[in-house]
């Protein structure tokens, strides 16, 4: 029951985050924003997390996950309510920054909770549960946002999304038991971030994790942009994006079996290869069924990697510094999420969406070649 509670807590926050990110893109486009401006909003979701993730990880290692979680959930509520109360393009700059920073704290804190719950033998299974929760919220988020936009309008859609972090905040306040955390007495004596980057297993995990997350998160930027150019409604775009999330849920149902039969790096190579191939094909298709099929394939590829990545990261981290290691990973991911949407927005504005898809495909397929070398070790 504890795992179910942790999954629900994380999923409620993630649903609001995913739904708000999609709603922000479409709301900005409806207000006449350019592709570059939409890319700016997507970058703002990652800008402060890029700068603050390591500090957040150290804070969570030191004080535990509960106080940062309380603050983060309250900030998620504020971030979703701002565009509801003040529906204007300028407000989206503030709300995007607030939402991205708040969910960064939720992400690091909940990874710490799932990694510390139970013993090392249950860690991979715990992260599989976390990944399943992400799949559920990731599939519901675009659907809830798309239907709310079509039925209620953009500002009221934000108001509806605020109900989910409010529910998560209530769940956390009602819990009296402390949340699981790594052993604070086993903190590894060592230096700063460079100490972590000198560990080969961690360094390789950071690299492939960044590529996979780039493929994951840029989908949420490129798909609304591509769907809007094709003339799809918000509900249709949300349905296409939900297909991606449903695929991640499906593949994570069989992850316990895959983990027993495949090595971790085999899963990672497959994920990068499938994702890269999917992005090559996207610009060639403009019908809803084919885009749903491609999104489903992309979700299968990327969905299988997340539990493996987080388990590798937690196991490779020095004792007592797991939150910091997740913070380093989050910083690297958000650096790419900050600059790549800006570059993609500029590229799509100048040359169309297709080159942005293909540039991302090249990065992912290059990562698959790099990861394949680990299979021989």
Which residue segment(s) compose the domain that 220 sits in? 2-178+196-376
Model pLDDT, residue 19: 94
Question: Is residue 303 a part of any domain in this protein?
Answer: yes
Question: Is residue 308 a part of any domain in this protein?
Answer: yes
Question: Is residue 171 a part of any domain in this protein?
Answer: yes
Question: Is residue 183 a part of any domain in this protein?
Answer: no
The conformation of residue 255, written as its DSSP 8-state character, comes to H
Give how far Cα 297 sits from Cα of 68, 274, 275, 339, Å: 36, 7, 8, 26
Model pLDDT, residue 200: 82
Model pLDDT, residue 266: 84
What is the rounded distance in angstroms from the CA atom of residue 92 to the CA atom of residue 113? 31
Locate all alpha helices (DSSP H) within the chain, ordered by sequence.
Answer: 2-30, 35-63, 66-85, 89-116, 123-152, 154-161, 163-174, 193-197, 200-229, 234-253, 255-261, 264-281, 288-303, 305-316, 322-351, 353-372
Question: Is residue 272 a part of any domain in this protein?
Answer: yes
Model pLDDT, residue 94: 95
Global pTM reads: 0.73
What is the rounded distance in angstroms from the CA atom of residue 250 to the CA atom of residue 303? 9
For the chain, the domain total comes to 1
CATH number for the domain including 49? 1.20.1250.20
| Residue spans of the chain under pLDDT 70 | 119-122, 124, 182-191, 256, 259-260, 336-338, 340-352, 375-377
pLDDT tens digit sequence for 175-226 = 888 888 766 655 544 557 777 778 888 888 888 888 887 887 778 778 888 8
Question: Is residue 188 a part of any domain in this protein?
Answer: no
pLDDT tens digit sequence for 246-295 = 888 888 888 767 766 777 788 889 889 999 999 999 989 889 999 999 99
């Amino acid at each position: 029951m504890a795992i179910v509670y942790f999954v629900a807590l994380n999923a409620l926050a993630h649903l609001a985050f995913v739904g708000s990110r999609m709603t922000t893109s479409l709301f900005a486009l409806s207000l006449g924003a350019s592709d570059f401006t939409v890319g700016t909003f997507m970058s703002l979701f990652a800008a402060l997390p890029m700068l603050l993730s390591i500090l957040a990880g150290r804070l969570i290692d030191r004080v535990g996950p509960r106080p940062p979680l309380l603050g983060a959930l309250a900030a998620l509520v504020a971030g979703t309510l701002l565009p509801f109360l003040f529906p204007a393009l300028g407000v989206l700059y503030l709300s995007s920054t607030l939402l991205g920073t708040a969910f960064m704290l939720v992400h690091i804190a909940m990874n710490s909770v799932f990694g510390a719950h139970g013993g090392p033998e249950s860690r991979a299974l715990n992260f599989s549960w976390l990944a399943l929760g992400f799949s559920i919220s990731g599939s519901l988020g675009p659907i809830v946002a798309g239907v709310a936009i079509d039925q209620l309008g953009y500002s009221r859609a934000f108001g509806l999304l605020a109900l989910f972090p409010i529910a998560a905040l209530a769940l956390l306040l009602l819990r009296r038991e402390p949340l699981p955390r790594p052993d604070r007495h086993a903190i590894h004596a060592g230096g700063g971030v460079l100490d972590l980057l000198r560990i080969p297993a961690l360094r390789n995990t950071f690299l492939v994790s960044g590529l996979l997350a780039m493929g994951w998160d840029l989908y949420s930027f490129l798909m609304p942009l591509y769907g809007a150019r094709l003339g799809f409604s918000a509900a249709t775009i949300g349905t296409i994006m939900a297909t991606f999330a449903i695929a991640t849920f499906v593949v994570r149902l069989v992850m316990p079996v895959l983990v027993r039969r495949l090595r971790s790096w085999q899963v990672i190579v497959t994920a990068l290869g499938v994702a890269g191939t999917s992005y090559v094909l996207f610009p060639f298709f403009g019908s809803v069924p084919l885009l749903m099929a491609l999104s489903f394939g992309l979700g299968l590829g990327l969905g299988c990697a997340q539990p493996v990545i987080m388990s590798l990261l937690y196991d490779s981290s020095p004792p007592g510094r797991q939150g910091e290691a997740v913070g380093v990973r989050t910083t690297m991911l958000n650096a790419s999420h900050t600059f790549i949407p800006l570059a993609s927005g500029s590229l799509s504005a100048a040359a169309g969406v297709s080159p942005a898809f293909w540039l991302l495909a090249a990065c992912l397929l290059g990562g698959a070649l790099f990861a394949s070398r680990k299979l021989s070790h």
